[in-house]
Amino acid sequence: MPVQRVEQWVEPVDEGPAALSPPRLVVVVGFDGSESAYRALDSATHLISGRTGNIVAVYVAHPSATAELSPEGLGEMRNGFDALEQQFTEAIRSRLDLVEQRWRLERRDGGIAHELVAAADQVSRDNGTDATVVIVVGSAMHTYHHVVGSVPVALVRHAKYPIVVVP
């Protein structure tokens, strides 16, 4: 049925028929290899099935405060992040291989919520106005919530994109 409907929830002002050019849906998924991240990935797959669009899985390497102190620790951590990136690419590939091919993994460094929004901004710029950007995250992305605050909550507070939070 009307795939174009998707445009209306983002630009409800434009109530007219949104059928001129079918909007692309780009789903930015926060991915950290956790259980809920996989569920977020599944949910993203669900969102773009039957639509034009693609999935951008974003892995944000978040340097922990203690490791930042020593240069050796930092180097070691970088290697760890690179290994993880490889591992995640494989993991997503094996998860989505049969279902969905329109995805890519992007690695970013920094604060998680901030980088996810930055990734969404980037995607939004790349695709122009005809694309709709949605951010999907798992609800418990990291165990150190109590230190840096929950990512979904931060996203809900700041982001200008629809946020899908998958438990």
Partner 1 sequence: MHDTSASSASAVIVVGIDGSDTSWDALCWACGETSRLGGRTVAVFVGPTSDVTSATATASFAGAAIAYGAIQETMIDQAEELGGQARNYACEHGVDLTFVHTHGDTATELMRIAGSDCADLIVVGRSTKARHHLAGSLGRRLVGRRNAPIVVVVP
**Binding region for partner 1 (CB under 8 A):** 1-3, 5-6, 8-10, 12, 42-43, 46, 50, 139-140, 150, 152-153, 156-157, 159-167
Residue whose entry in the numeric block shows the structure tokens 């990734």: 119
The C-alpha atoms of residue 20 and residue 98 are separated, in whole angstroms, by 31
Give the residue among 62, 29, 27 at the shortest CA–CA distance from 137. 29
Q: Report the nearest approach of partner 1 to the CB of residue 73 (Å).
A: 33
Distance (Å, whole) CA 107 – CA 87: 12
CB nearer to partner 1: pick between 24 and 61? 24
Let me know: does 60 contact 30? Beta carbons within 8 Å. yes
Name the minimum Å distance from CB 42 to partner 1: 6
61/135 with CB nearer partner 1: 135
User: Would you say 84 or 159 has its CB closer to partner 1?
Assistant: 159
> Residue 71 or 167: which CB sits closer to partner 1?
167
Min separation Cβ 137 and partner 1, Å:
9
Q: Enumerate the H helices of 4-103 as residue ranges.
A: 6-10, 35-48, 71-96
